[in-house]
Every structure is written in C-alpha cells, then in structure tokens.
C-alpha cells in the first residue's frame, strides 16, 4: 500500500514496517529444526529448575531405608529410589536447578572478566600483547586440568566449581571479543565518533560493545553446555557438589557403586546431562547461524 503525505510517498505495507530484532532472530532461528528442538529442551529444563519445589513429588533429601533401591516404575516412585530411599525423580528435578545455577553463574563470571579483557586488548594496542600473553598461558592448560587445579587449590564445593569453570571461560571469550573489536575499531563510524570528541569509554561501551553482542550471545549459549558438563565432571570426581546435594554429577558418582544392582542410579543423571548439553549446543549452533549477517543476506 502507498500513502501520499505532503507530496511524499510512504510505504505502509506490513513487509516494510520496522521489525523487532527479536522477531527477525526468531524468523531465522525457527528455520533450523535442530535449534528449535534445543530451545524447547533448554526451556523445559529452565522451567523445571524454577518450579522444582512445585514439580518434585517428594523432598529430595528425605531418606527412607525401607524403600531403598526401588526400580523405576515402582508405585509412588516413577523413577525409583536411590540407596537411601530418596525419590530419584525429585532429586533429578532439583539437580536441574543446581546444574543450571552452576552453568549460568560460571559463564556469567567468565563473561564479566573476558569481555572487559577482550575490549581492552582489542582497542589498546599497548595492552594487547600483555593481556594476550596471559590468555595464551591459560589456554596452554587443558580446560579440565585447569579447573581441577583451581578446585584442588580452593577446595571442593559448588562456589569453587563456579570460580574454576568461570576462569576456564575467560581466555576464550576474551579472544572472541578482541577479534571483533579489532575489526570494528577500523570502521568509519568509530573514526567519526573520535572526531566528535567521544571518550574511549563511550566508544568502547556505546559504539563497539553493542556490535559484539551477537558473538557474545552465541559463545555464552554454547559455553553453558561445556560449563554444565565440566561442573558435573568435577562433582563426579568428588571435587564439586558434596553429598547429599542433588547434583547430577554427584548422583552419577554415588550411583556407580550400584552399577550392576541398580544401573538407573547412574544412567538417569547421565541422560539428564546429555540432554541439557545437547539442548544448549543445538541452540548455540542455531543462534550462530541466525546471527551470521552473511547467512541472513543469503536467506
């Protein structure tokens, strides 16, 4: 539809209306069925974690030795009970809350430091070599070994696992942000901002950082999968969540003592870890494709 106002023709078609960036993102994301599946899985786990007290049929820490090691499908206990008679379904539901808490907290910790370091390294050439050499040293250590070393030094516990996995995330995100900043700071609008007298702080956080958001979002989404898996690994090794905490890695670790008698004690939390990691990885892949400008133009 065409509308004339004061001799000026204006397009009023729905096609030409300004779209929200979220609508545009969803438009491209929904074409990737695997990404939509990942989004659905992640959404379900987040809802389960938030409403764990409502959804859990029993207290996940209440013991009853008279019903210990009931198999899945037992009356009143859909997924059976563990070696202390605690309901497995309730513990898995609460485990989602703890695992997602560790994942989001550790990635947030890594982003807080990694983004700042990446911005400084990319924008200030004098700081670039110093920051990147520190990053290279951290990257020289295999991730799990670095996390193990940090937790071993700080001691076992959820808080220390968050710190360890967060520190592991810092080098990669700083390199991702640095590479984006190196490209953006050569753009004409950055030169114009400098000519207009904007401070370095304003340029970094008003002009450059918003253009790094897509890379940060993609990295953070995929990093959540790694963080949850790493936290579960540390708990499995006895360095993360401590008994009787309902955490998937710790549950799988204690369940291995009954692997032949009651294999579901290990298989159920293991399957939960696989499912949530698959969800975040699939969603991250979809976001990467949807936020890729070249792919958008192609579509």
- Please report the pLDDT score of residue 56 as a whole number: 93
Three-state helix/strand/coil letters over the chain: CEEEECCEEEECCHHHCCCCHHHHHHHHHCCCHHHHHHHHHHHHHHHHHHCHHHHCCCCCCCCCHHHCCCCCCECCECCCECCCCCEHHHHHHHHHHHHHHHHHHHHHHHHHHHHHHHHHHHHCHHHHHHHHHHHHHHHCCCHHHHHHHHHHHHCCCHHHHHHHHHHHHHHHHHHHHHHHHHHHCCCHHHHHHHHCCCCHHHHHHHHHHHHHHHHHHHHHHHHHHHHHHHHHHHHHCCCCCCCCCCCHHHHHHHHHHHCCCCCHHHHHHHHHHHHHHHHHHHHHHHHHHHCCHHHHHHC
Could you tell me the pLDDT band of residue 264, with boundaries at 50, 70 and 90? very high
Flag whether pLDDT at 197 surpasses 70. yes
Could you tell me the pLDDT band of residue 196, with boundaries at 50, 70 and 90? confident
- Please report the pLDDT score of residue 37 as a whole number: 92
Flag whether pLDDT at 62 surpasses 50. yes
pLDDT tens per residue, range 205-243: 888 888 888 888 888 888 899 899 988 988 888 888 888
Domains and CATH numbers, the chain: 47-60+96-298 (1.10.3720.10)
- Please report the pLDDT score of residue 16 as a whole number: 42
Does the global pTM surpass 0.85? no
Flag whether pLDDT at 14 surpasses 80. no
Higher pLDDT: 86 or 149? It is: 86
């Amino acid at each position: 539809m065409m509308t004339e106002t004061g001799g000026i023709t204006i397009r009023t078609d729905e096609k030409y209306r300004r779209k929200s960036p979220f609508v545009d993102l969803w438009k491209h994301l929904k074409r990737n069925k695997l990404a939509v599946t990942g989004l659905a899985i992640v959404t379900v786990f987040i809802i389960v974690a938030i409403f764990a007290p409502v959804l859990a049929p029993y207290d996940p820490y209440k013991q009853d030795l008279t019903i210990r090691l009931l198999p899945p499908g037992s009356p009143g206990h859909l997924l059976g009970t563990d070696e202390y008679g605690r309901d497995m379904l309730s513990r898995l539901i609460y485990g989602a809350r703890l695992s997602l808490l560790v994942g989001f907290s550790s990635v947030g910790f890594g982003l807080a430091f990694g983004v700042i370091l990446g911005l400084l390294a990319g924008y200030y050439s004098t700081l670039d070599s110093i920051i990147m050499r520190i990053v290279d040293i951290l990257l020289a250590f295999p991730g799990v070994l670095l996390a193990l070393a940090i937790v071993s030094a700080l001691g076992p516990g959820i808080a220390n696992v968050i710190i360890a996995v967060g520190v592991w995330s810092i080098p990669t995100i700083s390199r991702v942000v640095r590479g984006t900043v190196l490209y953006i700071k050569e753009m004409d609008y950055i030169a114009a901002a400098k000519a207009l007298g904007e401070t370095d702080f304003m340029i970094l956080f008003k002009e450059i950082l918003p253009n790094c958001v897509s890379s940060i979002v993609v990295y953070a989404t995929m990093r959540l999968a790694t963080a949850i898996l790493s936290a579960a690994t540390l708990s499995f090794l006895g360095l993360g969540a401590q008994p009787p905490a309902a955490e998937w890695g710790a549950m799988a670790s204690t369940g291995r003592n009954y692997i032949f008698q009651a294999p579901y004690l290990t298989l159920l939390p293991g399957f939960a870890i696989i499912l949530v990691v698959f969800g975040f990885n699939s969603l991250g892949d979809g976001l990467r494709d949807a936020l890729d400008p070249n792919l958008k133009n192609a579509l």
